[in-house]
Structure 1
């Protein structure tokens, strides 16, 4: 009985940890997207100020060029995080399925997930 309780606590911990990880990744993706949108506005403002929007122009604003590079890096990072998010969600589904098995083995009388 004690080992079953320990296993149940372990499953609960795995589920909670994975939920936190999913939430953390989602927050990071949202933050990166917000920062990329802000950079996009700054790029547009700088291009308007200079009157040059052609990247290949010799007088293209240095700040706009750097902001574009930063924006591109943020977008790439957000894409990589999306891959990690998919993996974390799969792991969460597996952890939840494992919790369901524990409930069945326990007779279904106790609820392992609180939240």
Structure 2
């Protein structure tokens, strides 16, 4: 019983760790999106202040250029994190499913039957 409890505890820890990773990724994506929105507002304010809205114009604000580059980089990073988030969500769901299977009575029976089969010599099974 002790080995099963420690295995279950280990699976729960792994599932919790994956859930924390998902939460961290979601938080980072929200932060990046918020910073990109702030930069958007700053760019629009700078364009209003200078009266030049065309980035190709020779007198376009250097602050607006650099802020738009930072905004684009943040959005690209957020997109990359979204891809990682999808993978992390799948890993978390798989880990939670494993915990549920291991914690359910049917999971105990499957584990017990698997252990019996492993202990039974192959010649007896034939």
Q: 1:15 matched to which residue of 2?
A: 15
Structure 2: distance between partners of 1:13 and 1:106: 19
Structure 2: distance between partners of 1:20 and 1:96: 13
What is the CA RMSD across the aligned residues, in angstroms? 1.0
Match of 2:67, SS state, is helix
Moved over 6 A (4+): none
Query: Of residues 105, 108, 113 in structure 2, which corresponds to 1:106?
Result: 108
**Structure 1 position 12, deviation (Å):** 0.5
Is 1:90 aligned with 2:90?
yes
Which protein has the bigger helix share? Answer: 2
Q: Which runs of 5+ in 2 are unaligned?
A: 110-126
CA displacement 1:49-70 (0-9 Å, x = unmatched): 1110101100100000000000
Larger Rg: 2
**Structure 1 position 77, deviation (Å):** 0.5
Structure 2: distance between partners of 1:58 and 1:2: 73
Structure 2: distance between partners of 1:56 and 1:77: 25
TM-score (norm 2): 0.82
**Structure 1 position 3, deviation (Å):** 1.5
Q: 1:64 matched to which residue of 2?
A: 64
CA displacement 1:30-89 (0-9 Å, x = unmatched): 000000000000000001111101011001000000000000000000000001110110
Aligned length: 107
Match of 2:58, SS state, is coil
**Structure 1 position 106, deviation (Å):** 3.2
* Alignment map for 1:25-36 (pairs within 5 Å): 25-36=25-36
